[in-house]
Amino acid sequence: MADGKPNLTGLWQAMGTADWDIEDHSAQAGPFFQLGAIGAIPPGQGIVEGGEIPYKPAALEQKKKNFANRFKDDPEVKCYMPGVPRAAYLPYPFQIIQSPKDILFAYEYATTNRLINMGKPLEAATDTWMGTSNGHWEKDTLVVDVTGFNGNAWFDRAGDFASDSLHVVERYSLIDANTMNYEATIEDPATFTRPWKINVILYRHREKDARLLEFKCVEFTEQLLYGDLVRKSNSENPGK
């Protein structure tokens, strides 16, 4: 960029299966046998530094409950916003628009987006799904400090979670022009015994004319969320 900063503008996406489970996990059957191999859960190596999330005992119990109910309670099932850091390794691309002023992150999933304030840091005005993001450059690394979470987002489809005292520090650093290291430090004294880190590699989409498309998933959840409230005579064909 003209200002000497690395150019992060582009369409990025993580590979791998972190969204299924950020910890190491084996291949498993999915919830719907009708989908066969398409519905199965692929194996994956975790992205948590040191392998395990340092839950406090009560939080670990909650995580286990979440896991047991994951296909019902995961906010992703309901097309709710993914929160941070999950937005970075969802199985959908996201677009960075890097202005010399602020930096926009637009995620394909659920049209979620957030603006990274690169000016004087702003205090979170209220708790939100995506938090309040203040960024700065440390040499060639974009560091984003995120606070003001509402505690409703999960980290993955396996029920890993944090509370509304979550504090995430993200570090985006280019490895080369088309590959970026993503590191996030997770701190939440209500849930974890100590701060911990995740590491993911993000890849730039290099297909000709690759673009961020629209995945507004709300309409794919309405039958699930409100189906029992549809007039019975109409439930077969409730409309678009």
Partner 1 sequence: MNQRTFLWMSALGVVMAMAPISSVVGQTASQTSAKSGKSSADPKTPWGDPDIQGTWTSDDTWGVPFERPKQFGNRATLTEDELKERAKNIEHNEEFVESGGANHSPAKAQIDAKEKGEAPPPPPQGRFGRGVDAAPVPGHWGEFARRASHQSSQIVDPPDGRLPPLTPEAQAKLDAKMKLRRDPLPASWANWSIYDRCISRGVAGSILPVIYGNGLEIVQTPGYVAIRYEMVHDVRIIPTDGRPHLNSNIRSYMGDAVGRWEGKTLVVETTNLLPDRLSIGANGDGGAPYSEDMKITERFTRVSPNTINYELIVDDPKTYTAPWKVAFPITQEPGYKLFEYACHEGNMAMHNMLSAARAEEKKKAGGDAGQK
Which x/- pattern, by CB under 8 A, does the window 55-94 give for partner 1?
--------------------x--xxxx-------------
Contact 156/21 with Cβ under 8 angstroms? Answer: yes
According to CB under 8 A, which one of 100, 119, 121, 195 is a site residue for partner 1? 100
Told to check if 213 binds partner 1 by CB under 8 A, we report yes
Of 40 and 212, CB closest to partner 1: 212
Q: Are 182 and 151 in contact (CB under 8 A)?
A: no
Judged by CB, which is closer to partner 1: 62, or 128? 128
Residue range at the interface with partner 1 (CB under 8 A); choices 24-32, 34-42, 98-106, 172-180: 98-106
Q: Quote the CA–CA distance of 128 and 45 in Å, as a whole number.
A: 30
- Helix, strand, coil percentages (3-state) for the chain, rounded to 5, are 15, 30, 50
Shortest Å distance, C-beta 78 to partner 1: 8
- For residue 199, count other CB atoms closer than 10 A to its CB: 14
Residues 136-195, interacting with partner 1 (CB under 8 A): 152
Distances (CA, A) of 43 to 19, 23, 124, 204: 11, 10, 37, 23
Question: Interface with partner 1 includes 17 (CB under 8 A)?
Answer: no
